[in-house]
Amino acid sequence: MILIGLGANLPGDFGPPRATLEAVLRAFPKVGIELVQLSRWYESEPQPPSDQPWYANAVADVATTLRPAALLEELHALEAEFGRVREAPNAARTVDLDLLAYGDEVQPGPSLILPHPRLQDRAFVLEPLVDLAPEWRHPVLGRTARQLLDALPPGQGIRVVA
């Protein structure tokens, strides 16, 4: 599985955050990414906690012939195309696309870390990931998505969007 985390908490040219993320999904094919499956949509509070608006989040399972570094470049290009400005870490944004996992590949960095180094700490990634693949196994930690979610401490606000 190739997993991409989607998030946004500022409106963009396509409207509210979820509408922008849906437009990004429609743009995937033009850069060689095929959407295989999408989780339910969630709203989550910013992490770390702040006074920012809540985020729209989902996780996509995709197919592509792009290798991880090239895929990450395309994701960053899409972020820029859809209005992301990288000002400061954890700043509010119109779109955030994270390469969470690329099959079982493990890359320690420095320019690309796989799987995503904070995947196991984030309810806004794990809740939608469990929708898609509760038995997906973290290639480093060896735990399933469900086990990782169950191990999270309380306090990360997240809810399914109807």
98 catalytically annotated: yes
Domain of 150, CATH number, reads 3.30.70.560
Looking at residue 32, its pLDDT comes to 97
| Cβ–Cβ under 8 Å, residues 61 and 39 | no
Name the residue range of residue 84's domain.
Answer: 2-160
86 catalytically annotated: no
3-48 per-position pLDDT tens digit: 999 999 999 999 999 999 999 999 999 999 999 999 999 999 998 7
Whether the link from the prior residue into 115 is cis, omega within 30° of 0, is yes
93 catalytically annotated: yes
51 catalytically annotated: no
H/E stretch holding 113 = strand 113-114
Catalytic residue among 26, 51, 86, 93: 93
CA dist 148 and 89 (Å) reads: 24
Catalytic residue among 96, 121, 131, 137: 96
14-23 per-residue burial string, b: 16 or more CB within 10 A, e: under 16: beebbebbbb
Give this prediction's pTM.
0.95
Please tell me the total count of domains within the chain: 1
Catalytic residue among 18, 61, 67, 98: 98
